[in-house]
Structure 1
Amino acid sequence: MQTRHELINYCMALFHYNHSYSKITKAPPSDSSEGCSAWSMSSLMAVLPESPSPTCSAASSGPRDSQVPIEPSDARNQVFWSLINLFVVGLPMKEAAINEWELKNTKKAMEEMKKYESKVERKRSKALAKTNKRISRVKNEANRKKSKARRSTIDEISAVSKYYEKIRATKSFLLLKLRKFF
C-alpha cells in the first residue's frame, strides 16, 4: 500500500501528465501502410520517455482512430476524483486515530475515577470504623448506666424491704413514720 505522500505525488503527476498530453501536437495523417508510424513520436517521447510505443489495432483505419484525446477538464476531474479517493482512503485512518485517542482518554478518565473511588472508599471505611467505635462506646456507657440504675433500684427496694421487715418484726408503725422523713 502506498503512503499518503506517494498518492498525492502520483495524483499531481497524473494531473501534469494529462494536462501536457492534451497539448501534444499530432502529425498529419499519412498514407503509409505501416499503421501508426505516422504519429509524431518525438513529442510523445518527450512526455512519456519510459512508456511503450503506441500500437494501433488492426481494425483502425489510421493513427487518429486509436487516439483518445484527454481534455484538460477530464484530467482535472480525474485528479479531483483521485484526490477525493485519497481522502476517502485516509478517512478510516483518521477515524482510527480519533478512536484510539478516545479510548486512551476514556481509559485515563476511568483510572482517575477508580483512584477517586478507592480514595472515597478508604475514607468511607475509616468513617465507618470511627462510627462503629463511637456506637460501641455509647452502648457500653448505656449498659453501665442501666446496670447502675438497676443496682440503685434494687438497693432502694432492699432498703424498703428491710424497714418493712423491722416494722413487721416490732409491729411498730413508728419506724414507718420516721422513714417518711428520711
Structure 2
Amino acid sequence: MSYRAMRILSPISGLIGVCGLLAGCGSSLPLPSITPEPEVTRQVETAPPGADPNSCWGKHVVPAIYETVTEQIMLQPAEILADGSVIEPAIYKTEVHQAVVRERKETWFETPCSDSLTVEFVETLQRALKARGVYYGALSGEMDARTRAAIRKYQKPQGLDSGILSLAAARKLGLIAVENPDG
C-alpha cells in the first residue's frame, strides 16, 4: 500500500484491519483501495464545440495504444529446380514499425459547475454514494480522493470511467433536478 493511501485511511480502520490480521480473520469493515485520479481525466474550462458556453464539462481521454511490429518482407523469392532442390535461397528484409492497437478516444460529458459543488452538495453526494455501497468514508463535504474513487466506481458500469461527477450521474443519484421537457 502506498504512503498516500495509508494516510487517507483512518487510524481506527487501520487498527481494526491489523487486529483482524493478527487474529487470523478479516476486518469487518470494507477498506476500498484508493487510486489517484489519472491525469487524463479532468474538468475543463472550455466547452466542446457546439455546447452551451454557460455549461460545465469534463473530458475523459483514453490514450492510444501502440505496439512495435516486426515483419519479414521477401525481396527476392528462392530459385528452386523442378526436382525441388534450392539453388538460391529467398532474400528477406526485416522491417520494424509502430502499429495502432487502439485509437485515442476523447469523451466529453456535462458536469455540475464548480460553484454548485458546495460542502452541502458534496455531503449529499457522499450520502447518496454511501447508500449505494460505493463510498465508505465520513460525510466530510470535501471532494477528496475517496469521494472521487466512489464516483468512478458508481459511473464505471454506466460507461464513464471518471472520478469527475457527470451531470447524468448527479441526476440519477437525485442530486440535480431533471429538466421537464414540457416546459
Q: TM-score interval w.r.t. the shorter chain?
A: under 0.3
What is the TM-score normalised by the length of structure 2?
A: 0.20
Whichever structure has more strand as a proportion of its residues is 2
Larger helix share, 1 or 2: 1
Structure number with larger C-alpha Rg: 1
